[in-house]
């Protein structure tokens, strides 16, 4: 069955997807030094050569990967992800390469006893990860950081369907304001990250890196699987 082999699939309308998520996303606020153009001198293949502190971009742990590759383990004994999220004031920021939702204090995720504070959420279109070679319409990344500077990211993969996703629908009007111009910020008031549904009980998990410079390695990636 098709749904059984995908990471978690949520459904959003085509109109919402096309009008809001036109920018590609990453983990840094200034993309002027690098490009996503594979043919560019400062494209992904050359990120590791642009600056000394970006050397990890030439490493072996670079996501995204196809989720059926050998180093992506399907973890079935985790049960529900151990999160303790809470409502918090949040801000939307257009970073040029993506739109980011940043929380002041949105709670935390716990993996193997390590607590990672929720920092931000951003979106990629199309999806960065593939499943059995197939790429999807949208992927969101919930980025968390521990007290010692380690990162953990939860990825959720979306495809276009008949029903809108409740969380995206809730913030749709806020998203439209910063969608057109880099550097625009919008205070959204209180947003509860618990509204982002993580319903699966099986997950793809692997150790990778951040997906843009400085490409920090040792990131724990968890892709919700339904």
> How far is 51 from 57, CA to CA, in rounded Å?
10
Choosing from 97, 124, 141, 144, which is the catalytic residue? 97
> How far is 219 from 81, CA to CA, in rounded Å?
17
Question: 29 - beta bridge partners?
Answer: none
What DSSP state is assigned to residue 172?
H
Q: 58 Cβ partners below 8 Å, 6+ apart?
A: 47, 48, 49
Residue 71 has a CB neighbour count (10 Å cut-off) of: 11
Q: Is 97 a catalytic residue?
A: yes
CB 199 within 8 A of CB 225: no
Give, in order, the Cα–Cα distances in Å from 151 to each of 121, 126, 133, 136: 13, 23, 26, 24
Residues recognised as catalytic: 97
């Amino acid at each position: 069955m098709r749904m059984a082999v995908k990471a978690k699939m949520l459904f959003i309308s085509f109109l919402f997807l096309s009008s809001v998520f036109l920018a590609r996303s990453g983990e840094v606020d200034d993309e002027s030094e690098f490009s996503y153009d594979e043919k560019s001198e400062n494209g992904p293949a050359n990120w590791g050569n642009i600056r000394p502190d970006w050397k990890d971009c030439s490493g072996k742990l670079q996501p995204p990967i196809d989720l059926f590759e050998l180093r992506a383990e399907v973890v079935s004994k985790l049960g529900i992800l151990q999160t303790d999220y809470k409502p918090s004031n949040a801000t939307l920021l257009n970073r040029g390469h993506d739109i980011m939702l940043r929380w002041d204090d949105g709670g935390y995720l716990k993996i193997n006893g390590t607590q990672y504070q929720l920092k931000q959420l951003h979106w990629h279109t199309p999806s960065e990860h593939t499943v059995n070679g197939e790429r999807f319409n949208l992927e969101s990344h919930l980025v968390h950081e521990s007290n010692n500077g380690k990162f953990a990211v939860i990825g959720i993969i979306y495809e276009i369907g008949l029903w809108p996703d409740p969380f995206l629908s809730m913030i749709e009007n806020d998203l439209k304001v910063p969608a057109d111009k880099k550097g625009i910020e919008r205070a959204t008031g209180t947003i509860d990250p618990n509204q982002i549904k993580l319903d699966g009980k099986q997950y793809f998990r692997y150790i990778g890196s951040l997906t843009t410079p400085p490409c920090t390695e040792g990131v724990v990636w968890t892709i919700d699987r339904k």
